[in-house]
Structure 1
Amino acid sequence: MHKPADDASSGLRPPYLKKGDKIAITCPAKKLPRPMNDAVALLQSWGLEVVSGDTVTASYHQFAGDDDLRARDLQRFIDDDSIKAIIAARGGYGTIRMIDKVDFSRFAKHPKWLIGFSDITVLHTHLLANYGAQTIHGQMPVNIPDASKHSLDTLRQALFGEALSYQYHAHGKNRSGNGSGILAGGNLSLLVSVAGSVSDLDYAGKILFIEDVGEYLYSVDRMLRSLKRAGKLAWLAGLVVGGFSDMKDNDIPFGQTVPEIVMNIVQEYDYPVCFDFPAGHIPDNCSLIFGRKVQLSVQGQDVGLQFL
């Protein structure tokens, strides 16, 4: 296992893309169910040259090839300086199985944009925790046929360095306030799964974003309480709650919605909290730049998030 550098204070912002740049598609987790023609066509329409990894057509049980192949595919694109961005084709499960086989030392010297969400949270947290690297939480090729045009526009804006900010009206019971800090987070299940590892984050002073899909309500409660008991939620600068899609309940109802669970757990803290942020396992999965400083403004139901 390669031990990453300890100093993440300087931060890494990869160069923004320009027309003619190469973007690589790899599958660090689950295998693809179908070809990615829509995604390739979209990326090419942005003027990018698309390079597909061996994992795009690989299959090993539910994975896109075995752990060694998936690590080798990612390694190849990290080490190839002609590749300016790497987009994960999909999530699922499997990134945590191969990440310790990857040497990020070349990435530290020549950073490039890494894009994805869900299971790709493991890579987001690892690169931010160890290198202060900015990465993009956004749509992946497998989602593009069902993605909103708006969400795809935000991905292009993030990759090409255009200004990015969000204003929306929430339905949940927000907690008003203002906060600024480095944006971090991702899928709640994955944040809990990397806790205590070399890929874990320092949450203090961060604007934390969370989302999840297909979980039981009691499990959401348990995961958030696990983070709270680990001291992760006490010193946030703000909490942004995205999509919690397809939530499940037991025969005996848990008795709280996701917003009620969240507010009950963070009730003694005073940082701003907002719900319904347009990111997560939803068609309008808008892009977020993790590792970038943001300004969060929550005034009643009106929410603003500006990347600084």
Structure 2
Amino acid sequence: MNLQAGDKIAIVSTARKVSLEEMQPAITVLQSWGLEVILGETIGAEFHQFAGSDALRRSDLQRFLDDASVKAILCARGGYGTARILDDLDFTEFARNPKWVIGFSDVTALHAHLYKLGFESLHAIMPILFPREGSEAAIESLRKILFGEAISYEVPAHTFNRLGKAEGELVGGNLSILHTIIGTRSDFDYDGKILFLEDLDEYLYHLDRMLVHLDRCGKLQNLAGLIIGHMSDMKDNLIPFGQNAYEIIREHTSKYNFPVCFDFPVGHEAHNLALVCGRKARLEVGKDGSWLEYLAKN
């Protein structure tokens, strides 16, 4: 699915509304890579907080899933709404001509759905965030993966890390979204996987409740490895929960033996490195830092 100069990349919004002006910085960057940018009808559309009605967002995404001349689909932003349109999408033509589907946050639902169907996708920065200060590395990591360049990541050690090595398919994304799709047709088997998690704007007790649920569903016990990204803008109640986000996660994973890497640069901060969902990877968590690299392409 590697891109080359002259290829078409579509921008659609599967969730919250966006304006053409908000997309322009990303369009300029994508064009500088030699790509032809095509905008969906959802860019500039409005239906309350959404980028058009469910029917419009679904048909817009379906159009580009079906169009073999479009080599990648870039979701404009997150927010809320992607899960509302998943069950009526048809992936028949997409299966004949797979392409990158790119985004994060609310787009986690789409990544999970694609993984369940057997396709890789790309958890990466979205156009709404291209102008954000400090996003240069995130944008460059997206470019490298889109154009098939080799990429691996090294991150500093963290006090909470659990050392070890793991190999498995890389899966995950936004914890709140993964939590809400359990039991749906987008849910998938976590056993033997390297799971990565991030979240934004959640109460600490919500985070605890979601992790309890994942654990009770058997999602954590047979992981190969765990990567914890940004837990941004967490909230607390008047009576404090008593632990921060990383402490909560450490508690719920302490009974298992798989390696855990904390503070990986993925999530709702500017330094949001691109990750290939569904691709086999190797994670090494050592005393001097952590390393993530891909082993094979599907």
Task: Calculate the TM-score normalised by the size of structure 1.
Answer: 0.93
TM-superposition CA deviations, 1:186-236 (whole Å, max 9, x none): 000000111011100110000000000000111111001100000000000
RMSD (CA atoms)? 0.9
Size of the aligned set, in residue pairs, is 293
1:188-227 equivalences under 5 Å are 188-227=175-214
Q: 1:152 pairs with 125, 139, 159, which one?
A: 139
- SS of the equivalent of 1:39 reads helix
- SS of the equivalent of 2:215 reads helix
Distance 1:301 1:194 in 2: 36
Q: Which is further off, 84-93 or 161-170?
A: 161-170
Distance 1:301 1:121 in 2: 31
- SS of the equivalent of 1:220 reads helix
1:1-308 equivalences under 5 Å are 15-32=1-18, 34-130=21-117, 132-146=118-132, 147-300=134-287, 302-308=289-295
AA partner of residue 136 (structure 1): L
Distance 2:172 2:58 in 1: 23
How much does 1:301 deviate? 5.0
How much does 1:128 deviate? 0.3
Are the equivalent residues in 2 in contact too, given 1:21–1:84 (CA < 8 A)?
A: yes
Q: Which residue of 2 aligns with 1:4?
A: none
- SS of the equivalent of 1:124 reads helix
Are the equivalent residues in 2 in contact too, given 1:233–1:266 (CA < 8 A)?
A: yes
How much does 1:122 deviate? 0.5
Distance 2:288 2:109 in 1: 31
Distance 2:263 2:174 in 1: 15
AA partner of residue 87 (structure 2): D
How much does 1:112 deviate? 0.4
Q: Which is further off, 27-36 or 82-91?
A: 27-36
Are the equivalent residues in 1 in contact too, given 2:125–2:142 (CA < 8 A)?
A: yes
TM-superposition CA deviations, 1:2-27 (whole Å, max 9, x none): xxxxxxxxxxxxx1101100000000
Are the equivalent residues in 2 in contact too, given 1:68–1:101 (CA < 8 A)?
A: no
Are the equivalent residues in 2 in contact too, given 1:215–1:246 (CA < 8 A)?
A: yes
Distance 2:119 2:29 in 1: 26
Task: Calculate the TM-score normalised by the size of structure 2.
Answer: 0.97
Are the equivalent residues in 2 in contact too, given 1:23–1:49 (CA < 8 A)?
A: yes
Deviating runs (4+, > 6 A) in structure 1? none
Q: Which residue of 2 aligns with 1:8?
A: none
How much does 1:172 deviate? 4.0
Distance 1:296 1:241 in 2: 12
- SS of the equivalent of 2:58 reads helix
Distance 1:102 1:260 in 2: 39
AA partner of residue 296 (structure 1): L
- SS of the equivalent of 1:179 reads strand
Unaligned runs of 5+ in 1: 1-14
Distance 2:47 2:260 in 1: 41
Unaligned runs of 5+ in 2: none
TM-superposition CA deviations, 1:218-275 (whole Å, max 9, x none): 1111001100000000000000000000011101110111121111111111000011
AA partner of residue 218 (structure 1): Y
Question: How many percent identity over aligned positions?
Answer: 54
- SS of the equivalent of 1:151 reads helix
How much does 1:35 deviate? 2.9
